[in-house]
Each structure stands twice: as structure tokens, then as C-alpha cells.
Amino acid sequence: MSERQYDLLAVDLDGTLLTPDGSLSSATRRALHRAHESGMRIVLCTGRSFTETRDVIGRIGLELDATVTVGGALLTDVATGCTIERTEIPIETAHAASRWLQQRGYPVLWLLDAHEAGFDGFVVGSAPRHPAIERWLRLAPVSMRDCADLPQRQAPIRLTIVDETDALENVSAELRRVFDRRLNHNIIAVRSYGFTVIESFAHPVDKWFGILKLCRRWNIDPARTVAIGDDVNDLPMIRSAGLGVAVANAIPQALAAAARVVPDNAHDGVAVLIDSLLSQTR
């Protein structure tokens, strides 16, 4: 048997690990178990909060070590639910960005580290809410509090606004200019809830930022990592991992950045990747 080439597998959830209807296929679940049994560390890397990731962890049914959630801003010990490390947006930047967004008519979803705060965050401001916000608050397993004024003590790990894609693209260009080198942000279509968001994080937070922190903690060479994803927030890890992989349903930028493309998330692309990786060690 040859030596295992990779020590860490970073897997995006929505659009990658999960099928188009949000389920976890039995073939993919079995493949994750085989990878875990081989000694490879499986790390879920998602834009979701840890609260929203718990259900998927339960469905996988493995004793995972850690997750990278909130787009790289939060590292969590899965066994205990305790935070390993979080990267907050500095409160001054969070206030400035929130005021800037509120001036454009947006209520701001101010996400906290729920383990530390005891709840998931605030809906800040009194501006009319996009209907999708109400749908998310009703369906997601999160506890958000209304807050008319900006929180003064609890720095967020993510700021989010919701709107139609065209409107967010216009906001994005100006947001990038005004908050360059202070915030990272992405426009993301949240398929699980059927809406589009701008998610902003402290610079330089992204999924690869979170993976590197785990590599240092676990003494893993970043060249011995595999990352698989489908969307714009997966690009940093696809480009930087030892092996960057895209599922066939990925956006064009992810397909172009990937060293390998596997079948789409409706056809067990993650399982195909894992079987390929494990076959190299037999």
C-alpha cells in the first residue's frame, strides 16, 4: 500500500456535498466514512453558521474534529461545540459598514459567535425587510434578536444584506471601493433558502484562511490538503489547496481554477473524488 498523499479534505456543503434538494446521499456518506477511516481529516467548510451546520454533521454521523464555518471566520471543535478561534470584524469597521448599508435602505444581519454570545445575532435597523429575511428567520435553526441601534460591545463575525442579485451587484462594486482592505465580501445565491446575499467578513477572512489555521494547529502541510467546492466563496481554497477540485455544477470561475473536475452534486461528485484519492493509497 502506498502512502496517503493528502491529510485533510475540505468540503463545501451547499452545491457540493449536499444534493440539489439539500440531502446527503448514502453513497457520499459512505465515502466520507471511508476517508475518515483512512486517517484523512474531514473538514466541512461552509458559509453557513455552525448552528446551521449541526444538522449536516448529524447526518454524516462521524466524529469530526473541527469545522470551518461562516466563510472562514469561525473554527469550532465539533465534539464540544466550543469555539477554537473566531475572527471578528473590528467594531469600528462593523459600525461604519452597517451605517453605510443602512443609508442604502438595508437592514443588516449582524452574526455573532453563538457559542460565546448564547444566540446567533441581531437584525439591525428599522428599514423594511426583504421577504427572504423573514423566510430565513422562520425556517433556519437560528436565534436572531431585533436591534434598532448598532450593537456597541459584540463585534460581528459576518454582516449580511439580502436583495435581488442585480441590486447587490451594484452595491458590491461600491462596497469594495469604500471598504477595501477592511472587509472581504461575496455575493452568494443561498439555494437552501432561495435568496441572494452579500456576506462581509473581516479582511482577510475566507475559507482558505480558516483551513490554514487548522493546518497550523494540526501540523499539516497545506500542500497535503484537498479542497472541493462550487461557488465564489470556494475559490480561495480551490486555488490554494494542494489539490483544488470543483464539482461539475460549479460556477465557471471555480471550474477554471480547479485542477480536477468531478461529477455534479446530483451524481455524488464528492464520493467520486474520495474513491479516487483512496485508490491511490491501495
- Tens of pLDDT along 62-98? 999 999 999 999 999 999 999 999 999 999 999 999 9
- Fold assignment, 8-86+206-279: Rossmann fold (3.40.50)
Q: What is the pLDDT of residues 223-263, one digit of tens each?
A: 999 999 999 999 999 999 999 999 999 999 999 999 999 99
Q: Write out the residue limits of the CATH 3.40.50.1000 domain(s) in the chain.
A: 8-86+206-279
H or E element in which residue 53 lies: helix 50-60
> Which CATH number does the domain 91-202 belong to among 3.30.1240.10, 3.40.1410.10, 1.10.760.10, 2.40.50.140?
3.30.1240.10
Residue 204: cis peptide before it, omega within 30 degrees of 0? yes
Residue 3's pLDDT band, with cuts at 50, 70 and 90, is confident
Residue 218 has pLDDT above 90, yes or no: yes
Q: Write out the residue limits of the CATH 3.30.1240.10 domain(s) in the chain.
A: 91-202
pLDDT of residue 280: 81
Give every CB contact of residue 97 below 8 A, 6+ residues apart in sequence. 89, 159, 175, 179, 182, 183, 200
Q: Which residues of 219-255 are buried (b: 16+ CB within 10 A; e: fewer)?
A: ebeeebbbbbbbbebbbbbbbbbbbbbbbebbbeebe
Residue 1's pLDDT band, with cuts at 50, 70 and 90, is very low
